[in-house]
């Protein structure tokens, strides 16, 4: 594997943020502390902690957190010495107020996430993060849903706002390896900052997609232990690290300790094993935001229809993150048509 970048790979573990969707945002402080201690011991570079929908996401629409996310972030900071604590912020859900609060209690990095065509709403938050002395990265969600030229255009906007890296974010787990290659290569040729990649495993290609991204020059890479993330989860961290080691890339993280943490701490937290079930497959196929899965399943039960039909219809309507309220509307319409 010949990488197109000489910069070291920086891993971000997302199970305590993306995995929040899986546990319906019910992480306890004790669980967060145990996971962060294990990741710190293994040498993880960054650990993302927040509500699944980012700072400020604890609402009726997105799901109430069991424990205030600021308390969880503070607990994570207390348990980490070398690992840096990261947060996610989606403008319109989170505000600069939450960003400042997270910074005050010790968060060192923020990924400012927008839909792939709406980078302009990130300007204030990226700029503020830089003023606060944080690492500020852009996170272009649903990256499969826009032409490559649009992706490049939007990434350049984030770069102009002060982002130190921009992520190609495969929120639906819909991208195939050739599509990842095309997108990362285009950004590498167009930007002067680092490129990141965040995968979902809905079509069982998260690790393959991540390897392609690294080959094309991505240096900011996400993973989730035990695939603890929305849909079928993300690139499985305890799999990715030994794969990279076999390829001669030592990222400085202890793979044995990751495996033990996944087996002994993460597995008991999971409501059920993360599998690529029919709902996840349909999300990847239809290009639907991965966090919609549980909402669609609940709506299907409520209206007596197949959740897959809801997901396919959401894909046709090009629903994006933040439009969870559309799920019930679609379910009601489909039930009415069925009747």
Binding-site positions for Mn(2+): 18, 198, 200
Other Cβ atoms closer than 10 A to 248:
7
Q: What is the pLDDT of residue 324?
A: 79
Please report, for the domain that includes residue 34, its CATH number: 3.20.20.70
265 and 118: one domain? Answer: yes
Give burial (CB, 10 Å; 0-12/13-18/19+) of 5: middle
Binding-site positions: 17-18, 171, 198, 200, 289
Domain count, the chain: 2
- Annotated active-site residue 21? The verdict is yes
Average pLDDT taken over every residue of the chain: 95
Bridge partners, residue 195, by sequence: 166
Binding-site positions for substrate: 17-18, 171, 198, 289
Query: Is 285 domain-assigned?
Result: no
Other Cβ atoms closer than 10 A to 272:
7
317: domain range? 291-338
Q: What is the pLDDT of residue 292?
A: 86
pLDDT, tens digit (0-9, with 9 covering 90-100), for 59-76: 988 889 999 999 999 999
Characterize 305-326 residue by residue with b for buried, 16 or more Cβ atoms within 10 angstroms of its Cβ, and e for exposed.
bebbbbbbbbbeeebbbbbbeb
- Contact between 129 and 113 (Cβ < 8 Å): no
Please report, for the domain that includes residue 300, its CATH number: 1.10.8.60
Q: Output the CA torsion sign for 118, 120, 124, 125.
A: positive
Helical H segments across 23-147, by residue range: 29-42, 69-79, 96-104, 123-131
Which one of the listed residues 21, 25, 144, 295 is annotated catalytic? Answer: 21
Q: Distance between CA 218 and CA 240 in Å, rounded?
A: 15
* Token couple for 252: 């400085």
92 and 191: one domain? Answer: yes
183 and 244: one domain? Answer: yes
- Contact between 200 and 244 (Cβ < 8 Å): no
pLDDT, tens digit (0-9, with 9 covering 90-100), for 274-299: 999 998 999 899 898 877 888 898 89
Q: What is the pLDDT of residue 1?
A: 64
Q: Distance between CA 193 and CA 197 in Å, rounded?
A: 13
DSSP state, 264? I
Q: What is the pLDDT of residue 290?
A: 79
Of 238, 269, 300, which residue is a domain's last? 269
Regions of the chain short of the pLDDT cut 50? none
């Amino acid at each position: 594997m010949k990488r197109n970048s000489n910069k070291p790979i920086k891993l971000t573990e997302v199970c305590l943020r993306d995995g929040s969707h899986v546990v319906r945002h019910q992480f306890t402080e004790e669980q967060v502390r145990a996971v962060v201690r294990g990741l710190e011991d293994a040498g993880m570079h960054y650990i993302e902690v927040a509500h699944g929908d980012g700072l400020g996401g604890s609402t009726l629409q997105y799901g109430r957190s069991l424990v205030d996310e600021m308390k969880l972030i503070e607990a994570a900071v207390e348990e980490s010495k070398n690992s840096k604590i990261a947060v996610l912020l989606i403008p319109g859900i989170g505000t600069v107020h939450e960003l400042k609060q997270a910074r005050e209690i010790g968060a060192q990095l923020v990924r400012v996430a927008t839909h792939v065509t709406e980078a302009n709403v990130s300007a204030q938050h990226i700029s503020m993060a830089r003023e606060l002395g944080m690492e500020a990265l852009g996170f272009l969600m649903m990256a499969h849903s826009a032409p490559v030229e649009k992706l490049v255009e939007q990434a350049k906007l984030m770069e102009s706002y002060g982002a130190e890296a921009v992520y190609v974010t495969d929120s639906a787990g819909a991208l195939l390896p050739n599509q990842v290659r095309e997108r990362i290569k285009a950004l590498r040729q167009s930007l002067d900052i680092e490129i990141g990649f965040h995968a979902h495993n809905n079509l069982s290609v998260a690790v393959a997609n991540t390897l392609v991204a690294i080959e094309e020059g991505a240096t900011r890479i996400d993973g989730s232990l035990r695939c603890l993330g929305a849909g079928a989860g993300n690139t499985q961290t305890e799999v990715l690290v030994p794969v990279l080691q076999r390829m001669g890339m030592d990222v400085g993280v202890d793979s044995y300790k990751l495996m033990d943490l996944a087996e002994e701490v993460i597995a008991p937290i999971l409501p059920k094993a993360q599998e690529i079930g029919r709902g996840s497959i349909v999300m990847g196929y239809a290009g639907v935001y991965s966090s919609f899965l549980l909402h669609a399943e609940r709506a299907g039960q409520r209206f007596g229809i197949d959740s897959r039909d809801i997901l396919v219809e959401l894909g046709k309507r090009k629903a994006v993150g933040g439009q969870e309220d559309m799920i019930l509307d679609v379910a009601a319409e489909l039930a009415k048509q069925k009747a």
